[in-house]
Structure 1
Amino acid sequence: MNEKKAILNVRMLGDFSITYEGRQVSFGKNTATKAMKLLQILIYYGEQGIAREKLLNALYVREELADAANNLRVTAHRLKKMIIDAGLPEHDYIVIKKGIYRWNAPVPTVVDAREFRKMYEEAQNCADSRQKEELLKEVCNMYRGEFLPEISGDEWVLLESVQYKKLYSNALKELCDGLIEKCDYEEALLFCEPACRLYPFDEWQSIKIECFLGMKRYKEAMKEYDDTAKLFFEELGISPSERLMEQFDQMSSQLKHVKPKEIQDIKQRLKEEKGQGGAYYCSLPSFRDSYRLVTRMLERSGQSAYLMLCSLTDGKGHPLEKPEKLELLSEELQNTIQHCLRKGDSFTKYSPSQYLVLLIGTNKENCGLIFDRIRKYFAREHRSWNKYVEFYVSSVAEVDNLDTPIQFRNDDSGWK
């Protein structure tokens, strides 16, 4: 009777653990073995199951095995024994039918990641604003960190992790925007604090600063800004974003009791529209025109400029071709380039896997340092991403030489 009421509670957000009848199930210290990875995959996919080919790819894609299917059978057999040895009820936990592997526990299995996604969808479909706020709070409280962080280098985990982070970020932003609109600054601070710890480089600190400003706690706002600016400079070698700089200006004016001066109308019309700050992103045709103009200017000034090509690879130097992974990494690389470079730098997307960057007033040695900064920020949350990006660089004066890795065509087709 008690067994029927028992539940397997599985945590995958922040770390991995299984709780059964009030006690944590122990499988030993090493949670990165093939058997443990198989367990995590099977529990995550649950009753819907996972196809053998997909499972083989998830477990053995980086290994050259003569008979991966046989290895999978041996691993599954070992896992069945491990489950029983860990103290769970005697049962056939792995069912294989028509090439589909399924988790088959004798008691309900509750996975926090699946519950998190379900709660998020419920919040998005909720029409009642007060109830929706409560659901968003629950969503944010359920997120306790990255999805299966100990095996974050595995491709399937990486893709799922990015999606869960996106849902958390969306929910937290929507919740904090609503709380700030109601001037409920204390509660907004309460919910954005964990995000600042989990993702210190995603600038959730700007919400804290906005809350401090709303409560007229200007010194705390200034301290938060200073701490964030120091973190970005020391860890990544970059300046704070446009939004944080605007908040700094606002704090400075409040502290000095000085109101902004009137701006001339013509200057306001010419001013760039409010955006993300950082390097200037433009279309390929616009980038080409900027490049041509800079080339002319350099002929007179003698100043140096370099063209950098940042490319995404499969980790082994070959072009990255998997569409889903390419879209994910390409978006992140664009955000990284924009965030890491100066306002005076411009860049464009040349292809789904490549970006061109125009660096003015620098030298070849600094180009390497700039790319190191880009790569460090790009892999700030997933160290394995280091291997997915590489670069080439050429002086603008040498771009048209045939022996350089980057060349500009004379026709209108762009770059090659």
Structure 2
Amino acid sequence: MEEENLELKVYMLGKFSMVYGGQPVVFKRNSATKVLKLLQILLHYSGVRGGIPRNQLLEELYGREDVSDAANNLRVTVHRLKKMLADTALPEYEYIQIENGIYRWKSPMATWVDVIDFSESVKAGEAETHEGERYRLFRKACMLYHGEFLPELSGEDWVIINSVAYKKQYVTALTGVWDYLKYVQNYEEMLEISTEAVRIYPFDEWQAMKIEALMGLNRYKEAMDFYEETSRMFFEELGISPSGRIMKLFEEMSARMTGNYQATGEIEERLKEEGEEEGAFYLSLPSFRDSYRLFQRVLERNGQSAYLMVITLTDSKGRPAEATERQEEFSRKLHAAIQKSLRRGDCFTKYSPSQFLILLIGTNKENCKRIFQRILDNFAMEHRTWKNYLKYYVSSVADIKSDSSQLKIAGNEFHWK
């Protein structure tokens, strides 16, 4: 194939790479940070953007660095970039053009840059009035968006500014595609785009889209499992509840599952606990909350005693531990210690990165002290000093409703004074 017919493809969304004639462009020379950054800036402002003015280039290349002679440093960096490009499989050419203070990427072959195509597709979609064509343009943009803009340079001011702008465009495109697909009830494609959105931005609650798509496909078991996984991630990693939208979908999903006729054998199979796990039963916080409310009603009727225990991981000064790698290790060990120390009929959950809730049925306050001591011994089995990093509070479930209790239930949350 003729060299002029080969295309140079540049990828900046999700990671940086260059492909020429179907083969990766490998930089043989030591690709110093400034040289590679200059290349990325020039490519970012290539094509329809027509280049970058010298003053702006100096700002983006050196930022807040204290450079005594930025102009001379730029000349040196341009020279090094030319040498670096000469050592690749790219055709020999003067790729960097400087004219009237504007720096441009110029090449003998067509150069395609994913982020430019992405951004132009979103803009075209926003201006398009025909519904089908707007969907096509937005869908193309979503297919191009494999992740944030130049994540390796995420600390650079110019990258941060552009990354925020491109994410906003992605949200516009994704929402447009979603609205169209929902209208035509294409749930398979809805599942595809929402799965990718969750991968890229796991904490932006695109999970609601995925749950809705699974429900549209009548895959309620998968939707329920994914909801549980999402709830666990938000509670354990961020210490927050899922959004009202996700909770509403959960209620709708539960109602639909209840309303669908199923054979008795299938119902029993779904209700069975997977495996025969030893020790206490771990629940996600939403499930624990519902179990607590159910037990509270049962106890009102039969008079049996029950206690809610809060165990808190602390630092050396007795304050709730902050999120660190060591605290995460403590949390894993405490989870295992609680599960090992309790009966199969007891249940517990992780309320926040540093706190666990335990529901103890058919016990008394004196036994609660012994239970905590067992948990403490198991937690500190390998490191006796770890006993200093746990504290607990316990309250009778019957007393929690009273004004004197430190522990309160408000809406979907547990609170203590």
Same fold (TM over 0.5): yes
Residue number in structure 1 paired with 2:216? 214
- How far apart are 1:29 and its partner, in Å? 9.1
Residue number in structure 2 paired with 1:131? 133
Deviations 1:37-89 (A, max 9, x none): 00110111125221222111112123212112111111110101111111222
**Code of the aligned partner of 1:162:** V
Residue number in structure 2 paired with 1:236? 238
**Code of the aligned partner of 1:19:** V
Residue 233 of structure 1 aligns to a residue whose secondary structure is: helix
Q: Is the 8 A contact 1:9 1:111 kept in 2?
A: yes
Gap change, CA 1:138 and 1:54, over 3 Å in 2: same
Q: Is the 8 A contact 1:32 1:150 kept in 2?
A: no
Q: Is the 8 A contact 2:125 2:134 kept in 1?
A: yes
Do residues 16 (structure 1) and 16 (structure 2) align? Answer: yes
Do residues 87 (structure 1) and 55 (structure 2) align? Answer: no
Residue 109 of structure 1 aligns to a residue whose secondary structure is: strand
Do residues 157 (structure 1) and 147 (structure 2) align? Answer: no
Q: Is the 8 A contact 1:123 1:132 kept in 2?
A: yes
Deviations 1:88-137 (A, max 9, x none): 22222112223221112222211111111122222223333223323322
Do residues 103 (structure 1) and 105 (structure 2) align? Answer: yes
TM-align CA RMSD: 2.5
Residue 91 of structure 2 aligns to a residue whose secondary structure is: coil
Q: For the residues of structure 2 that align with 1:79 and 1:32, how far apart are their CA atoms?
A: 9
The answer for unaligned runs of 5 or more in structure 1 is 259-364, 374-416
Gap change, CA 1:370 and 1:59, over 3 Å in 2: farther
Deviations 1:136-171 (A, max 9, x none): 222211111111111121111111111111111211
- How far apart are 1:251 and its partner, in Å? 2.2
Mapping of residues 201-350 of structure 1, within 5 Å: 201-257=203-259
- How far apart are 1:31 and its partner, in Å? 5.9
**Code of the aligned partner of 1:64:** D
Q: For the residues of structure 2 that align with 1:128 and 1:195, how far apart are their CA atoms?
A: 25
**Code of the aligned partner of 2:101:** G
Q: For the residues of structure 2 that align with 1:139 and 1:198, how far apart are their CA atoms?
A: 14
**Code of the aligned partner of 1:16:** F
Q: For the residues of structure 2 that align with 1:29 and 1:229, how far apart are their CA atoms?
A: 48
Larger Cα Rg: Structure 1 or Structure 2? 2
Residue 101 of structure 1 aligns to a residue whose secondary structure is: strand
Mapping of residues 63-74 of structure 1, within 5 Å: 63-74=65-76
Residue number in structure 1 paired with 2:343? none
Residue 97 of structure 2 aligns to a residue whose secondary structure is: strand
Q: Is the 8 A contact 1:56 1:68 kept in 2?
A: yes
Gap change, CA 1:87 and 1:156, over 3 Å in 2: same
**Code of the aligned partner of 1:4:** E
Deviations 1:388-408 (A, max 9, x none): xxxxxxxxxxxxxxxxxxxxx
Q: For the residues of structure 1 that align with 2:78 and 2:54, how far apart are their CA atoms?
A: 12
Residue number in structure 2 paired with 1:198? 200
Do residues 26 (structure 1) and 26 (structure 2) align? Answer: yes
- How far apart are 1:371 and its partner, in Å? 10
Residue number in structure 2 paired with 1:177? 179
Deviations 1:228-253 (A, max 9, x none): 11111111111111111111222233
**Code of the aligned partner of 1:33:** T
- How far apart are 1:32 and its partner, in Å? 6.3
Residue number in structure 2 paired with 1:38? 38
2:64 to 62, 65, 71: 62
Q: For the residues of structure 2 that align with 1:222 and 1:93, how far apart are their CA atoms?
A: 54
- How far apart are 1:210 and its partner, in Å? 1.2
Q: For the residues of structure 2 that align with 1:30 and 1:196, how far apart are their CA atoms?
A: 36
Deviations 1:2-61 (A, max 9, x none): 132222211111111111222211115976610000011011112522122211111212
Q: For the residues of structure 2 that align with 1:50 and 1:239, how far apart are their CA atoms?
A: 45
TM value normalised by structure 2? 0.59
Q: For the residues of structure 1 that align with 2:28 and 2:249, how far apart are their CA atoms?
A: 49
Residue number in structure 1 paired with 2:118? 116
Residue number in structure 1 paired with 2:5? 5
Q: Is the 8 A contact 2:31 2:84 kept in 1?
A: no
Residue 37 of structure 1 aligns to a residue whose secondary structure is: helix
Gap change, CA 1:117 and 1:55, over 3 Å in 2: same
Residue 250 of structure 1 aligns to a residue whose secondary structure is: helix
Residue 240 of structure 2 aligns to a residue whose secondary structure is: coil
Q: For the residues of structure 2 that align with 1:248 and 1:159, how far apart are their CA atoms?
A: 36
1:147 to 146, 149, 174: 149
Deviations 1:189-214 (A, max 9, x none): 01111111111111111011112223
**Code of the aligned partner of 1:191:** I
**Code of the aligned partner of 2:23:** R
Q: For the residues of structure 2 that align with 1:31 and 1:247, how far apart are their CA atoms?
A: 49
Identity, in percent, stands at: 48
Q: For the residues of structure 1 that align with 2:87 and 2:171, how far apart are their CA atoms?
A: 39
Q: Is the 8 A contact 1:179 1:187 kept in 2?
A: yes
Deviations 1:233-282 (A, max 9, x none): 11111111111111122223333449xxxxxxxxxxxxxxxxxxxxxxxx
**Code of the aligned partner of 1:83:** L
Q: For the residues of structure 1 that align with 2:45 and 2:120, how far apart are their CA atoms?
A: 14
Gap change, CA 1:30 and 1:205, over 3 Å in 2: farther
Residue 45 of structure 2 aligns to a residue whose secondary structure is: helix
Residue number in structure 1 paired with 2:401? none
Q: For the residues of structure 2 that align with 1:370 and 1:170, how far apart are their CA atoms?
A: 39
